[in-house]
Each structure stands twice: as C-alpha cells, then as structure tokens.
Amino acid sequence: MSLNTIKIKNEKNLKWPKLFIAILSTVGIADTGSITLKNWGLFNSLSCPGISQGCDAVLNSPWGTLIKNDQLNIPLSFAGLLTYSTILFIVLILSLKIISPKQKIYKNFWWLLYLISCGSSVFSTLLISIMIIKIKSFCFFCLLSAILSFSIFILTIIGARFDNRETMFYRGLIVSFAVLMGGLIWSNHVDPARANEINLSNERVSPEIITISSKEKVRFAKYLSDNNIVMYSAYWCPHCNDQKQLFGKEAVEELIIVECAKDGKNNKAKLCQEKGIEGFPSWEINNQIFSGSRSLNELAEMTNYDGDINFE
C-alpha cells in the first residue's frame, strides 16, 4: 500500500468522529432546550422516564438555576444549551470544509472543541455528584447530558489526533481544575444547607414566608381561594417558595395550597398524581393546570381578577 493511499485513508477516518459529535450535540440541544423551554413556561409537558418527581426535585432544586430575580430567570439547562450549540457550530465548520485542514485555525478549532468538551465533562461529573449526594434524586435528562458530554469528549480526542499528547493532557488538566473549582464555589454558594433557603427539618415543610403582604395581595389571595384556584407545591421546591414570597405571609394563609411531595407534611400526593401535576409550582384554574411560577399580575389576568392589581 502506497504512502498516498494511507494518507487518504487516514483523512477519511477523521470524518466519522465529526459526524457523531454533530449527532450527539444535536441530541444535547434537544435535551437542554426542552428543559429550558419548560422552565420558561413555553413548554407545558415534559415527561421524565423513570421517576417523574425525581426530575422535578433535581431541576427545581437550587442547583437547577443559574440566575433568578425579578428581571431574569436563567436555568442551568440554558448553559448546557449554549454549550451544545457551540459544539455543533464548531463541528459544522470543521465538517463543511469552510477551513482547510492545512490551516492553523483548523487545528485551533479542534483545540477549542477539546477544551469545551473537557470542561463540560468535568462539570457534568460535579452535577451528577450533587444529584446523588445532595439532592438524592434521579433525573434522566441530567444523566443523558452527562453521557453526551463524555461521549463528545472522547470523540474529540479521537477526531483531533493531536500530535503532542503532553500538551493535550496539561491543557485539559488546567481546564478541568478551573471548571471544578468554579463549580464547587457555585455549588457551595447555592447549597440550601448553607444558605438556609430550604427547611430540612424532619417535618419536611416549606421554608417560612418572610415577606409582608399588602392589602391588595391579601384581597387577591382571598379571591383565588373563593374561586377554588389551587396552587400545587412541594416543600423542597425553591420556585414554590419564590411564588409564595411574592404573595407574602398574610396572603399565603388565604391561598389553597396542596403539598405534593410524598414525604411532605400533610401531603396529598395521590391527588397531585390524579391531577397530572408534573412541575412545581402548578396552578389549577378552571380545571386547567398551568405549570411554573407566575407574577401576581399574570395570575390576575389568567383568573379574570377585576380588583386592584397594584401589588407593589
């Protein structure tokens, strides 16, 4: 076999890792994108294989959100969506012959792909550890994302064919250390055991409501309860706590709130299952279920409330 034949064969072998990376990153986009859309209320139903409440426990945990305030709600899945989208973009550039393999930038794109997939794999390992040790629940979508990250990382090593393995190792080690340290700092910052965001007593009850209700909020809460509008909640759900804090302590006492967690105090888990509750919080309005936390003005519009909506 001639040298030219071997060279051509090796070039052809480089195609299949890129193909599989493109497929896996597309699956990752679908995985993290669906979670993100559901979190934003644009995707009502998301069936989780296995234990449904396990996915809710993980995705609605403090570790499931990067930023959440009055202006922004960025779930952790959005970071995954950006990562998989970037990987797909890079591998398309490498596959569509936009850049010649002989150019230096071509190899630089492989390095970028390697470092991103390396960091993603390390962060996925951290998240799986948190899921097992801290949250103690199983989430199929999170496990799938971890498998995709590791698979893309391995395929990148195969496809890139770096000449200097020592450089590959040291660069990967630096990225892994940086991602791990950053991830541990973030995890410690949002840990409810440290921040006291969730009550972890044996009673398994929701955190105490510390905000004060205005008269308008109390009237609105009474209206909701008079019209049999129900909020389905879980004691471990931070988004449920945020929803209650919007109403305030006095108004929450007027609401009809159903505890859905099986180990929650005075729970009605069977009723929640019969109602098909898949996410928390959920609102039952006119026999329809609406998942996700809502602003008070949005709830007022959904329930045709004609009272004073100056809830500030």
pTM of structure: 0.62
d(CA 133, CA 277): 26
User: Which of 236, 278, 232 has its CA nearest to residue 256?
Assistant: 232
Q: How far is CA 246 from CA 26, 237, 240, 260, in A?
A: 37, 15, 10, 20
- Of the candidates 242, 128, 115, 86, the one whose C-alpha atom is nearest the C-alpha of residue 178 is 115
Q: What are the Cα distances from residue 194, in Å, to 88, 132, 187?
A: 37, 18, 10
| pLDDT value at residue 138 | 79
More confident residue, 52 or 188: 188
> Nearest-CA neighbor of 31 among 67, 68, 83?
83
Q: What percent of the chain has pLDDT over 70?
A: 86
Using one digit for the tens of pLDDT, what is the confidence trace for 202-219? 457 788 888 888 899 999
State how far Cα 50 lies from the chain centre. 18
Tokens of 252: 């929450």
For the chain, the domains span 3-195, 215-302
Taking the domain 3-195, which CATH number applies?
Answer: 1.20.1440.130
Note the CATH number of domain 215-302.
3.40.30.10
